[in-house]
Structure 1
């Protein structure tokens, strides 16, 4: 395969997507003859920094490949680790990045999104001295002492648990409709009602842990699909601090913590595995990811791998929301299954919802339909190549595979194919981490216990 003048060779190709070009393989081929050193750093909240020292080509005919390589690198860094300011020490790359990360540029979505969540306009900075990496991981979770509330705000139901000294004494799920409700008072009232419901089953409340899909910085809700319908002015005044207000208004000044539900799933994985350094990937409506580091800490990185590019094929499928191609959401979610099913000869009902289309493929898989098996084999091939790419940044010891796409026979085929591709294409790292599915402990108490264990008391 040839992409931007760079030749990429593969042994393992997804049968239903023969033009798939793993970004890691493209990067390796690009860097093979690159000689010009360049450095990139991305700054995020509280002065934290992700830095990368790499190389590009000096030949003029490789300018397009240079630009593509750096664009994918910067995009990976801002969605994996987060950031609102990019430092670069090469003038041509500075000019290029400035032309795409701006209003009207090819990366306008990324520019606008990061400006919003970090409350600082996204900018590209030319500097001869690029800052070095600076991380500030937070010790969070694993605290089981005392009387705790664990609250998970889902898109269709809200779950709350009362936990006393590590034992769940009460759990409740309540259906609600946050995504279609404009008035944030509805959300606030639902959160407080859940808190009070759990509090009734304990002698006191020592701490509250909260999880939800979204981006949270310093316990503030910077972006979350739960509040999709809330007008922008009300979002600023009523939503960003909604969980902080709900805790303080209900219980006063007690410890609390708000975390992305992907990070909480990874934390639940560490509790189940009794070990750290876990990347959790939930393949459902999107690709939801969380990570707990070697010391059992949450990193503060975004981990929004749905937006991280994984495929260098110029004809890769576009993500309609972000307006970019080859990103994780179209490979590791129900969208990936729906994309591949017709290529396997499976005709899906176009009037059906995405969830219903996934169920149709799962039903065929349960009947051992070979067409459905090809879908999961192809996704497993995607995942094997992509985990090698993710490993470069995370260095994880375990990958916990979750979500609806992983359920049933299809999930088994996906995992087996992924393992085979890793061993065949990336033997140097294949034995450095393990693929895991949720065990019975995780399924039974993992998430609620992990949420409740987020804040430290005292």
Structure 2
């Protein structure tokens, strides 16, 4: 393979996506001839300093830095990016990551999340120092708890007593198309009250939710995509108001990716763990060896993985080749069309996913290719994530990973990692089918700390 004049070797290419250009091996080839230092600091909840190099004078320099900064923004997250290195490139990057540049979506989202104007600036006399933002998360099992997991296609709830699940359910819902936030409120309360009926009392409520969370507010989420701007605040305080309706029960809300990682950490009893949930979109989270979340954004659905010009375009961000287009039910539907696997476009995406999964269960060879393709892409992508996160265990969860398809995907991922990236000590894990779907709601129940 060759991209921007830089040749690189890839042994495993997804058969249904032959133009797939994985960022990870191209990045390695680019850096092999890069000698000129370049520093990137991203300031959000903490500050992360990323030391890298550029070739200098190469047409690939700008592309490498732009994709790297985008990867850092959607993994680490931040409102200020400080750069030190080639002044011309810094100026170009400042234009790209501006309200009128090609990454205007990223800029607007960072401003919404952090509540501050976004800026890219050249370093002055002093470069920012690293400032960690890790903190403990969950793992509290005492008492009678409710865990709620809000996905884009279904909602899950669990009633848990002293760490033992006494009730769980999954219900299809349609939050992404509901313009009235009262719909979201009714559905969440219905789930909480159903779980409460199976408990002698409710000591705490933990919520795992798609979207970006600050405190107990849902700052940005596809769950609220149809809610008009003048009613977004109702949606943002959705879970707080639900807990109040349940009697002001102690509440903790976390991003579904972090709860996925927490579920993995609780299951394994060790870390670090990256959790990747494949559902309506891609969710990701990370828990370190001490059981702490990083304080990072971890919205890897928007992080670049594929450099191909013809890579699928994300309808929300407008960018191409980002994770949500490869590790979600939309990815399965897109690949089904490429594989000639019939799905009914009149059905919801979740129903179309089930159609493909049923064909996979029956041993349909084209359906098998879909999930194996996803496994190839996942392996190359995990190699990229390993450049940002210290990885050891990766747990794959979510509806897309259910059934035999999830097994094919993770088996292929392990094989490709062994062949292409033998230096990475990665263990890719797939829990049992029910845990894949329900595990986040059980882990969510452990989020609140209840003081005696």
Runs in 1 of length 4+ with deviation above 6 angstroms? none
Task: Give me the whole-angstrom Cα distance separating, in 2, the residues matched to 1:256 and 1:313.
Answer: 43
1:338 aligns with 2:333: yes
Counterpart mapping for 1:380-395 below 5 A: 380-395=375-390
Question: How many pairs were matched up?
Answer: 449
Alignment-derived partner of residue 4 in structure 1: 4
Question: How much has 1:370 moved relative to structure 2?
Answer: 3.0
Task: Give me the whole-angstrom Cα distance separating, in 2, the residues matched to 1:171 and 1:420.
Answer: 34
Could you say if the C-alpha distance between residues 173 and 311 of structure 1 is closer, same or farther in structure 2, counting changes exceeding 3 Å?
closer
Question: How much has 1:200 moved relative to structure 2?
Answer: 5.7
Task: Give me the whole-angstrom Cα distance separating, in 2, the residues matched to 1:369 and 1:187.
Answer: 37
Alignment-derived partner of residue 52 in structure 2: 54
For the 8 Å contact 2:146–2:159, the answer to whether it is kept is yes
1:282 aligns with 2:310: no
Could you say if the C-alpha distance between residues 167 and 3 of structure 1 is closer, same or farther in structure 2, counting changes exceeding 3 Å?
same
Counterpart mapping for 1:33-432 below 5 A: 33-45=33-45, 48-59=46-57, 62=58, 64-90=59-85, 91-128=87-124, 129-155=126-152, 158-171=155-168, 177-188=174-185, 190-192=187-189, 194-195=191-192, 198-199=195-196, 202=199, 204-236=201-233, 238-248=234-244, 250-252=246-248, 255-346=250-341, 351=346, 353-429=348-424, 432=425
Task: Give me the whole-angstrom Cα distance separating, in 2, the residues matched to 1:364 and 1:150.
Answer: 32
SS at match of 2:419: helix
For the 8 Å contact 1:8–1:21, the answer to whether it is kept is no
1:434 aligns with 2:451: no
Task: Give me the whole-angstrom Cα distance separating, in 1, the residues matched to 2:112 and 2:162.
Answer: 39
After alignment, is 403-412 or 218-227 more displaced?
403-412
SS at match of 2:26: helix
Question: How much has 1:34 moved relative to structure 2?
Answer: 1.1
- What is the CA deviation profile of residues 353-375 of structure 1, one whole-angstrom value per residue up to 9, with x for unaligned ones? 43444344434433433333333
For the 8 Å contact 1:148–1:206, the answer to whether it is kept is yes
Task: Give me the whole-angstrom Cα distance separating, in 2, the residues matched to 1:192 and 1:417.
Answer: 40
Question: How much has 1:164 moved relative to structure 2?
Answer: 2.9
Could you say if the C-alpha distance between residues 335 and 163 of structure 1 is closer, same or farther in structure 2, counting changes exceeding 3 Å?
closer
- What is the CA deviation profile of residues 256-277 of structure 1, one whole-angstrom value per residue up to 9, with x for unaligned ones? 3111122222212222222232
SS at match of 2:133: coil
Could you say if the C-alpha distance between residues 359 and 127 of structure 1 is closer, same or farther in structure 2, counting changes exceeding 3 Å?
same
List gaps (5 residues or longer) in structure 1: none
Question: How much has 1:134 moved relative to structure 2?
Answer: 2.0
- What is the CA deviation profile of residues 162-197 of structure 1, one whole-angstrom value per residue up to 9, with x for unaligned ones? 433223345566665544443434544554565455
TM-score using structure 2 length: 0.90
- What is the CA deviation profile of residues 384-428 of structure 1, one whole-angstrom value per residue up to 9, with x for unaligned ones? 111111122222221112233323333322222211111111111
